Structure 1
């Protein structure tokens, strides 16, 4: 089985939030889609499970930590957050670990 076959099989097992986000045009290349995200206030970064890693560094569903967050903006549909890091990566936040994580990220990034 080829690598592309593996990706097609894996994509069918993505969380539904990731599938929905992948249908949208964010106006830029997306580095990856993150689920079950936790905001790390000490490092100003995110931790979560990554899917569709454009740089092919991580397995689907692998726990990753982003580099330091530079900016965040809600997508026009309001369901997803697009996060840019200082290293130039762009991640779509598809789901948060808890409501407290959403609030902590929003509070810190809008200060």
Structure 2
């Protein structure tokens, strides 16, 4: 695996890369099997993420949309430890959880 940086900031990793040059253009990088860097989640974020994964997983027969488990978090129906964890997150942490959840959901669809 090779680490991938953009402006000296780590953005992910890939299994293989090549620098290509097409006449009349700037060189560009071709990445194979790119995996974006996931933010490190704190304990509360991980609790919420685990809940979302369980609720959206392939074995869940009631979920028709990725927004179903997310709307559950915003409703008045709560599950104790998820409720406490979700209330402790700030906006940036919520966005990080949704980012990781979205990446996980896309992988589920590919399988």
Q: Which has the higher helix share?
A: 2
TM superposition score category, shorter chain reference: under 0.3
Q: Which has the higher strand share?
A: 1
TM-score, length basis structure 1 = 0.22
TM-score, length basis structure 2 = 0.22
**Higher-Rg member (1/2):** 2
Which structure has the higher relative contact order (CA within 8 Å, separation 6+)? 1
